[in-house]
Amino acid sequence: MQFNVGEKVVFLNEAGGGIIRSFIKGNLYFVEDDSGFERKHRAIDLGRIHCEDYKIDDDHIALMHEEASFTKVNHVVLKEQLTGRRRPIDVWEIDLHIEEITDSNRGLSNSQILSKQMSAFKIFFNKARAKSIRKVIVIHGVGEGVLKEEVRLYLDCIDGIEFYDADFREYGKGATAIKMYHNHD
């Protein structure tokens, strides 16, 4: 999986996420985490956050070239969805298809694939809750329904949310919408 400088990612093997600051080589990236520290991460350990809009704060500094020239980033980055519509900043999407969250699934058993997908989902979901995101769309696909069932079993244990099939016209049968209620709602 390839990532672009400025793209938001979630860590698959630990809590949290960050912003891609530069590409090193051999599928290694410098990622600025939520605490402002830059650390090396392998692409296989990162997941793409499929939200429409996200802001990069004025005080974030991005490495724009391998020569390490620094540029101040002060704008809103827009990532168009397949629908071509813009989503509000408080609606996040994640695509849990295995090819979207890992470089290669070669040699992985079905249970290992499911485990990676659920890990990416849980980290993403908890990050969305921590950021008071109001709605999350989880694209799990149709398949045999195993991933959808696992996602919904996990959600059954969470208070302060409701979930339902996402808009069929936009996502078909392969997505779940989660509406989150926060203390200020």
pLDDT per residue as tens digits for the range 96-112: 998 888 888 888 888 88
Evaluate if residue 26 carries a pLDDT over 60.
yes
Pairing status of strand 135-139 against strand 91-95: parallel
Structural domains in the chain (count): 2
- Residue range 125-157, pLDDT digits in tens: 988 888 888 999 999 988 888 899 999 999 998
Domain at 125, CATH number? 3.30.1370.110
Residue 154 has what pLDDT? 92
Helix/strand/coil (H/E/C) assignment for every residue in the chain: CCCCCCCEEEECCCCCEEEEEEECCCCEEEEEECCCCEEEEEHHHEEECEECEEECCCCCEEECCCCCCEEECCCEEECCCCCCCCCCCCEEEEECCHHHHCCCCCCCCHHHHHHHHHHHHHHHHHHHHHCCCCEEEEECCCCCCHHHHHHHHHHHCCCCEEEEECCHHHHCCCEEEEEECCCCC
Are 113 and 154 part of one and the same domain?
yes
Q: What are phi and psi of 61, to 5 degrees?
A: -110, 130
Same domain, 44 and 124: no
Are residue 54 and residue 96 in the same domain, yes or no? no
Question: Domain for residue 116, yes or no?
Answer: yes
- Which residue range(s) make up the domain with 141? 91-180
